Chain A
Amino acid sequence: MSSTSTRMQGRFDFTHIARWITPGERVLDLGCGDGALLRLLAETRKIHGYGVELDPVNVTACIRNGVNVLQFDLERGLSGFPDRSFDHVIMSLSLQTVRHTVPILQEMLRVGREAVVSFPNFAYRPHREAIAVGRMPVSRHLPHQWFDSPNVRFFTIADFEILCADERIEIIESMNFAEGKLVEKDPNLNAEVALYRIRGKAR
């Protein structure tokens, strides 16, 4: 999983994620890019954090940022991590790059007490308009052409919420954004990025 470019543009959601993290937590950030979020959380929330990142340039960037980073392939799952070994497991703007969507969500909710997930909303109005004129959308949060995109799953806010219901995943809180601002009205149409705080229902 390589999420460099999408991650660089996703930083506005970091401050919102930070609000959900209480000081001193153990945090695992999947697809952590250059470690900017973990660094922010270490500085502002004194967390004990680890990042998972496959791209070697990002791995070195994380180390330079003073962040613990593990060069693991998320497609292999999180089987080495014990149950409930983290307070929060975060996947910021990377869920769309993982092929095994349900297994990784389940793994996040096994390893973490809660999970934080953000993703680009494929049903954002400009994306719909692109499709309407017959082209795949290319935008700030879907910056790649169809042939070189790291994204392998294309889904909407509505799709994600249906999946959560089907998989007995409880949505504790969610926020939606467009152009860095909160979106309240009809997020599936008006939001380009969605941010969720979730946990497993069966407990």
Chain B
Amino acid sequence: MQAPNAAKNRSVGQVAPQTAVFDAALALKSGAVLPGFTLVYETYGALNAARSNAVLVCHALSGNHHVAGFHDAARRKETLGWWDNLVGPGKPLDTRRFFVVGVNNLGGCHGSSGPMSINPETNRPYGADFPLVTVEDWVAAQARLADYLGIETWAAVIGGSLGGMQALQWTLEYPQRARHGIVIASTPRLSAQNIAFNEVARQAILSDPDFHGGHYYEYDPADRHAAVKPRNGLRLARMVGHITYLSDDQLAEKFGRRMRHGKHRFNYEVEFEIESYLRHQGDKFAEVFDANSYLLATKALDYFDPAFDYAGDLRAALARAKAGFFVASFTTDWRFTPEKSREIVYALLHNGLNVSYAEIDCDAGHDSFLLDAPHYHAALTAYLQGITL
């Protein structure tokens, strides 16, 4: 195993996003049709001659194509990829061995077609008119990217949380095109409580007076990033979401009841440190993310339910899969609990598929999947090393 410092230096270095434009229409699960679309992606490592070493990394709710490395050497830390601790030379997803692809999903706000894109029918931003997209639609779009990159079969598709749903969906939709599915901190479907939190987030955005029915970009076409946007709604949405990503124990340890001024002030300004932290997280997120994209992604989460067409029988739903699987969950994840991952594991077992399952002891709740708890990365490294190319 690498010492932490050695791992830090094993970076893929400076990277730049690329763009792929697809002219053929894409029929979405909702019945809507995208006349064509653009995907922004990044790649790390090199595709081997046999084209057998490609790994697709699927992002979660607020992620994007920028998985590893940095965009700006002068602002290395600020522009670091969201899963840089996993992807790089000598890291668990080793770019000396694998060709790794990160992609911004449809409906996103980092360059792929989404609500901020121009609707060819109106020559104005889609805004709320961008069709609702599902995990299935994302996977279908990713398959077009695979075609474009000349990748017939992924050695593995990997993702955490909503990204794990895409990894699972790949093995169902394209059983011949994903040899391994790596499903981390995920779930076969959202619970009522999960949907409830998403609904609170959506209502926060939808009820923001600056939302303007989702067409807020047009209120200042000169600067759609800075001027009119439902900033407060998006900030609130992120705050409530963020609470669900962390564990009670972790918050207690990190903030406890610590107060900014050491005493009660009897007002609504920041008093407890946790309030300050949440406001900061909300503010930061509202600067870089788009409210319409957030709405779309929460709906994609809610809709995901591969067993739905099989009368709720997950085993029947997974009968199509042929991949080998690595499933991991985290003991303190109360958003997508280990029980949900075990349900996936049992359904895979039932179908006689190869599967390994690790239940990682980590106190960081749902967001543990982004950290590098030793047993987590050790198990993942072992699994990835075992993939034949």
Contact = CB atoms under 8 A, between A and B. Distances in A.
Nearest to A50: B349
Given A60-B375, A60-B378, A66 B386 contact: yes
Given A56-B360, A56-B379, A60-B378, A68 B346 contact: no
A68 B375 contact: no
A59 B349 contact: no
Interface in A35-73: 48, 50, 56-57, 59-60, 62-64, 66, 68-72
A66 B361 CA distance: 23
Given A56-B379, A60-B375, A63-B382, A80 B357 contact: no
Given A50-B349, A56-B379, A81-B349, A62 B356 contact: yes
Interface in B338-389: 342, 345-346, 349-350, 352, 354-361, 375, 378-379, 382-383, 385-386
A63 B386 contact: yes
B352 A48 contact: yes
Given A60-B382, A63-B356, A72 B350 contact: no
A134 interface: no
Secondary structure type dominating chain A contacts? mixed
Given A56-B375, A56-B379, A60-B378, A69 B361 contact: no
B262 to A, nearest CB: 41
A78 to B, nearest CB: 11
Contacts of A57: 375
A59 B382 CA distance: 10
Contacts of B386: 63-64, 66
Contacts of A82: 350
Contacts of A66: 386
Given A63-B386, A80-B342, A80-B346, A68 B379 contact: no
B359 A64 contact: no
Residue from A48, A59, A66, A81 whose CB has the most chain B CB atoms within 10 Å: A59
B356 A69 contact: yes
Given A56-B360, A56-B375, A60-B375, A68 B382 contact: no
Interface string A155-170: 0000000000000000
Nearest to B325: A68
Contacts of B349: 50, 70, 80-81, 85
Contacts of B346: 80-81
A56 B352 contact: no
Contacts of A85: 349-350
B354 A68 contact: yes
Contact of B355 (A26, A60, A68): A68
Contacts of A68: 354-356
Interface in B191-227: none
Contact of A69 (B357, B375, B378): B357
A71 B382 contact: no
B382 to A, nearest CB: 4
B355 to A, nearest CB: 6
Contacts of B350: 82, 85
A60 B379 contact: yes
A73 to B, nearest CB: 9
A39 to B, nearest CB: 12
B342 A63 contact: no
B352 A70 contact: no
Contacts of B354: 68
A59 B355 contact: no
Contacts of B375: 56-57, 59-60
Given A50-B349, A59-B379, A80-B349, 13 more contacts: A26-B352, A48-B352, A56-B360, A62-B356, A63-B356, A63-B382, A63-B383, A68-B355, A69-B356, A70-B356, A72-B357, A80-B346, A82-B350
13 contacts: A26-B352, A50-B349, A56-B358, A56-B360, A56-B361, A57-B375, A60-B358, A63-B326, A68-B355, A70-B356, A70-B357, A81-B346, A85-B350
